[in-house]
Structure 1
Amino acid sequence: MVAHINGELVVWEESRLSFERLQQRLPRRGSAAVAAAAQWPAHFVLFDVLCLDGTDTTAWSYRRRRSALEVLCTDLQLQAPWRLTPSTTDPGTAFEWLDWTAAGLEGLCFTRLTEPYRPTGRTWRKYRVREAHDAIVGAVTGPIGAPQSLLLGRYDTTG
């Protein structure tokens, strides 16, 4: 079986995704690359299938492509370092996944189940998790025109 897949390399460090560790692995060669791979193993997260046994699947709906990708992963009995990205149509489950920001997840991607694959990504949207905190600038230190520091105060549960 021959497949062209779309996905992303990720590196885990202490139960969270580490883009920094992935970047640190890229320029290494030879024994340094082997050592970095042992220290920070990469995993490939599969998102989509673009071609399957010579058949272009990009015109297929996402629902059909996802089903084909799931069958591919099952048939090949893929295990780590391969990982099929989770998928759901349940809003409650998607909402729970937003709590994964502590693991380095920056948001959720979503598309219509009826959409074909478009390489520009215009059919995919990303909901980014943003955390906001109110703070008060208490002081600015350092001379004007030089690097400066801010002293910030933040409200806690008691105000």
Structure 2
Amino acid sequence: MPRPPLKVMLAESVSTLPRGGRLAYEPKFDGHRMVIFRTGERVLLQARSGRIITDAFPDLAAAARQLPEGTVLDGEVVVWSEGRTDFAAVQKRAAATPGRAPALARQLPASYAAFDLLAEDGADLRTSAYEKRRGRLVALLGTMGPPLQAVPMTLDADEAATWYDTLPGIGVEGLVIKGLDQTYRSGTRAWMKLRHTSAHDAVVVGFTGARSRPHALVLVLPDDDTPVVSSPLAPALRIQAAAALPAQAASGTGIGADDAFGPGAAPVAMAAGLGEVAYQPVAAGLSAEVEQRTTRHATTTVLRLRLPPDAVGDQDGDLSGTSG
């Protein structure tokens, strides 16, 4: 049976909707990747990075205890707000301390969109075809209902194209395409994903440089809880970030916390071409629109900051600047 830390299967970006062959199409939700392990009397919730985040999601942990022993699910945790998914709220949940997690679970209840069944009754299903795993997943979760549900799936490319065109309004950022005969290959990019744009929102969890003029922002991207350092900010964005960054440092069991890095240790994030870089964490409250590019090194460029409507800046809460 799979055990944590488990490397999850990933998807490679494509520019057009694949058609033909034995393909399945699933909506790509804007949330955090999560693997659920139900073994014996225990429930463990694992983020994509391998970090155990069970304490941060007591609502999902309680729901997962209703699963049969020997079950392992792969999927996406999302928080719904005003009829659409809210990635900043998911990150706030993931960074909660054990003391704050129950209150946040009541304020921002999480949902789990399961898209794969990796083990059932203690048997490893990763070598089985996706088509077989999907059938068993639907049978397993069909009678349970929220907050654990199977993600929608279609075999009809035209229906998938309709999803792609109509679902962005509820926070669906695109599609994931899988072969019906595919096995689950941990750590490989064997699925395909079609996004509406290369730009998407990320949560700001820290910065490098001086607070009065940040050099770069440290970000958590959708579907990944590992913090990354952005490319250097353009001059205008440095000024805007200095005014917008939350004044208080981050605390708790989330990213940037002492118990994640050791008492008094500075948290680190991955910077393109540099490896691990120390940064100063900040509390949740600021997000940014970013663009990811892959050349020799994967880079994340901040396009604009996103602020609450009552924050300093443009009336719509966006602060834009030319990236450099």
| TM-score grouping bracket, smaller chain normalisation | 0.7 to 0.9
Show the counterpart of 1:15.
Answer: 83
CA distance in 2, matches of 1:55, 1:32: 36
Per-residue deviation, 1:146 = 5.2
**Partner of residue 29 from structure 1, selected from 97, 107, 110:** 97
TM-score normalised per structure 1: 0.77
**Partner of residue 168 from structure 2, selected from 101, 107, 116:** 101
Share of identical aligned residues, percent?
A: 33
Show the counterpart of 1:129.
Answer: 196
Per-residue deviation, 1:27 = 2.6
Find the residue that maps to 1:124 and give its secondary structure.
strand
Pick the structure with greater CA Rg. 1
CA distance in 2, matches of 1:93, 1:15: 22
Correspondence 1:7-156 to 2 at 5 A: 7-30=75-98, 32-74=100-142, 77-98=143-164, 99-130=166-197, 147=236
Per-residue deviation, 1:147 = 2.3
Cα gap change, 1:6/1:30 in structure 2, threshold over 3 Å: closer, same or farther?
Answer: closer
Per-residue deviation, 1:35 = 2.2
Find the residue that maps to 2:189 and give its secondary structure.
coil
Cα gap change, 1:30/1:131 in structure 2, threshold over 3 Å: closer, same or farther?
Answer: closer
CA distance in 1, matches of 2:98, 2:128: 41
Find the residue that maps to 1:67 and give its secondary structure.
helix
CA distance in 2, matches of 1:124, 1:111: 5
CA distance in 2, matches of 1:54, 1:27: 30
CA distance in 2, matches of 1:39, 1:52: 32
Cα gap change, 1:100/1:131 in structure 2, threshold over 3 Å: closer, same or farther?
Answer: farther
Moved over 6 A (4+): none
Residue type at the aligned position of 2:100: A
CA distance in 2, matches of 1:123, 1:14: 34
Show the counterpart of 1:142.
Answer: none
TM-score normalised per structure 2: 0.39
The structure with more helix, counted as a fraction of residues? 1
Instruction: Spell out, residue by residue over 1:59-118, the C-alpha distance to the aligned partner (whole angstroms, 9 max, x if none).
Output: 1110011011111113xx211111210011001210111121111111100111011111
The structure with more strand, counted as a fraction of residues? 2
Say how many residue pairs are matched.
Answer: 137
Cα gap change, 1:48/1:29 in structure 2, threshold over 3 Å: closer, same or farther?
Answer: same
After superposition, the CA RMSD in angstroms is 2.4
**Structure 1, gaps ≥5 residues long:** 133-144, 151-159
CA distance in 1, matches of 2:76, 2:235: 41
Per-residue deviation, 1:43 = 0.6
Show the counterpart of 1:141.
Answer: none
Residue type at the aligned position of 2:174: G
Cα gap change, 1:3/1:30 in structure 2, threshold over 3 Å: closer, same or farther?
Answer: closer
**Structure 2, gaps ≥5 residues long:** 1-67, 200-233, 238-318
